Chains A and B, each alone.
Chain A
Amino acid sequence: MAKRKGSGTLGLVVRPVRRTGKQVWSSLIRGKPNTILYPYQKLDLPPTYRGKHTLDFKRCIGCSNCVQICPNDCMWMEKLEDPELGKIERPGIDLGRCLFCGLCVEICPTVALHETVEFELADRDREKIKFGPKDLRDDTYAGQVVEERQKRLLPVLDMSKCTSCEKCAGECPEMCIAMMPIEGVGRSKPEINYNKCTSEGKCVIACPEKALEMKDVYESYFEMPEPKLVLQNCTGCGACVRACPADAIYMMDMPGTEKVLKDGKKGKPKKRAVFVLEKCVGCGRCFRACKFDAIEMPGVRE
């Protein structure tokens, strides 16, 4: 037999009695009970707890990134009319199928989705645990309980105002703005390297047209696919501009492509889409909206 700890009177009587006495003292007389009466008392849940979701309608841009990352496919996009925001698309969640992994909250580019500590969601009816966008709506929740993700103040470009004067690139102390020529348009667009940017804002002051603006940009840990234009196929219809939730696509005239009409006048020039990739959230809506295969986006679901 193995080395048993304490046989005989000491091991079989004295030690157990001492242990029992200690236990009775520490749990019954001195201590608190280890259990709670659940429906009446409730545990304090940590603020990081992953429970029912809330959605901030004003922050959400309707990019559907959350729908795409969901491992269970339990989210969907719903079209609604809001008196304040107009025609919008917002996500809904079937909490009966949700596995509460929190990936939708993590990937949200504008931190509009949050998770509350509410977990008592059981219901007799399956339809009642399908939460549409209106059930999830809580515009005041954001920033109150759960700490927001890290954000940085970064210059954001509005390409419709930009005149390609290159003043921002000259002012940048970190040399992180590069003027990239746009094919067919004959102009260039500033591309800002956010990794190098120190948020000094000199480019914003330098811009004569106020095309650059300092805005809060939330840090994202997900690398998203980037759209690429196939210029031969682009007809300039503008479907991608209407589809883009982040306003990252602009239609620009291509000079020199005007058709000469019968009366000798020049018609309207052809247009092409221009992507401002710093604003792109990688949702793939432009890719799906394009009917002429003019946008390539590897890694996006059809």
Chain B
Amino acid sequence: MWINMGPQHPMTHGLWNLRVKVDGETIVDAEPEVGYLHRGIEKLCEDRTYPQIIPISDRLCYGSSMTWSHLFCLTVEDLMGVEVPERAEYIRVAAIEMQRIASHLMWLAAYAADLGLMIGFIYTMRDREVFIDILQALTGSRITYNYPRIGGVAHDVPPTFGRDALRACSYMEKRLREYEDLFDGSKVFMMRNVDVGKLRKEDAMNLGVTGPPLRASDVRYDLRTDMPYSVYPEMDFDVATHPDGDCYSRYRVRMIEMAESCRIIRQAVQKMPKGKWRIRAPRNAPVGTGLGRVEDPRGEGMMYIVGDGTDRPYRVKIRSPIFVTVSAAPKMLIGYKLADVVAIMGGLDMCIGETDR
């Protein structure tokens, strides 16, 4: 029997449909369907000048808009051959890592609420607010920041930024230990996570899964170290991996990543040099192509822009990590019970905004 889970379902976190074929309670086949939230962002970009696309690329993902506008600026800088001032790079790295923590916390909130651990939702949303407040003081907005610019960032950091960031990091590290007690100590959470939704290493690599689900399958692949962009080569951090490949290891990888992000924010704030934070970027892009790849909180994001000599791009291609990762759903689901679907698909951190674009 085929069951439609979605497009309106508490499990989906957005508009997408998961069709599962069940034999009794056991899943024998699965088929994810995406495309309900297609907004035509790639086409919208072709009609706008380069600075005008930055607020649109913010709208790609509500969870981590900073990475996407940063990715767009990175790609256009590659296309135009713009050198970014060093201070801007450090500000960007600090902002992206804060965004990564905020995104992972929002995932954890939704995941805990899915698995019936409402206190997890309340706690994580409370701590996300700390980082959102810092980003608000830095950029001027809570969710859609519109902060990176072609050739730097929009404005300098506020005078209290360094102090607030360091405080938030030590606060977060304290909280992470509390979460470990809260989640790992919860019997319900462990029963629904451990040995559920196993994704083998070979399958994960063959299906193009990236980000925390891939690292949870014991593949040490992180674009921040494997293909470093911005000032990540100067940062000292570890790539989190876990050998099991089940839902619990995806949760573990994200928890370790949050702690590593705190380390990166500390280093970025301490190493931040003085100087200019923005340079004047050219208006027109040359004829040619630009490619940018970043490690999104959800996986590998890629943008490919073709410039035709005018102030508008000829083509913008966006590679979404979740669009690829969700294709591994059958491999993860088959053999498990229908009640495990929530835990398995929730563990992928679906964001439909960038999947359907």
Contacts and interface: CB of A to CB of B under 8 A. Distances in A.
Interface residues of B, number: 45
Interface string A288-302: 000000000011000
Given A48-B140, A102-B154, A106-B154, A221 B185 contact: no
Contacts of A220: 280
Given A19-B178, A103-B55, A11 B185 contact: yes
A74 to B, nearest CB: 12
B136 A5 contact: no
A71 B49 CA distance: 9
B283 A299 contact: yes
Contacts of A299: 283-284, 310-311
Nearest to A107: B51
Interface string B58-97: 0000000000000000000000000000000000000000
B45 to A, nearest CB: 10
A106 B139 CA distance: 13
A48 B137 contact: yes
Contacts of B310: 298-299
B283 A99 contact: no
Contact of A103 (B51, B180, B190): B51
B158 A102 contact: no
Interface in A88-119: 99-103, 106, 115
A36 to B, nearest CB: 11
Nearest to A70: B52
Contacts of A4: 184, 190, 194
B51 A46 contact: no
Interface in B131-157: 136-141, 144, 146, 149, 151-152, 154-155
A-side binding surface: helix, strand, loop or mixed?
loop
Nearest to A1: B194
B28 to A, nearest CB: 26
Given A19-B182, A48-B158, A224 B51 contact: no
Interface string B268-281: 00000000001111
Contact of B141 (A11, A23, A50, A221): A50
B126 interface: yes
A160 interface: no
Contacts of B190: 2, 4
Contacts, number: 90
Contacts of B248: 2
Interface in B180-209: 180-182, 184-185, 187, 190, 194-195
Given A49-B141, A102-B146, A15 B185 contact: yes
A71 B283 contact: no
Best-surrounded residue of B146, B187, B278 (most CB of chain A within 10 A): B146
B116 interface: no
Contact of A221 (B48, B49, B151): B151
B154 A49 contact: no
A46 B181 CA distance: 35
B185 A69 contact: no
Nearest to A49: B140
Interface string B302-323: 0000000011000000000000
A71 B56 contact: yes
B146 A1 contact: no
A223 B280 contact: yes
Interface string B250-288: 000000000000000000000000000011111110000
Contacts of B144: 99, 101
Most A-side CB within 10 Å, residue of B52, B144, B244: B52
B149 A46 contact: no
A223 B195 contact: no
B137 A5 contact: no
A222 B283 contact: yes
B177 to A, nearest CB: 10
A153 B91 CA distance: 29
Given A221-B280, A222-B283, A99 B55 contact: yes
| B49, B178, B248 — most chain A CB neighbours (10 Å) | B49
Contact of B181 (A19, A99, A100): A19
A225 B140 CA distance: 29
Contacts of B154: 102, 106
6 contacts: A1-B195, A19-B178, A46-B136, A69-B49, A223-B281, A299-B283
Given A2-B194, A299-B283, 5 more contacts: A2-B248, A5-B180, A102-B146, A221-B151, A223-B282
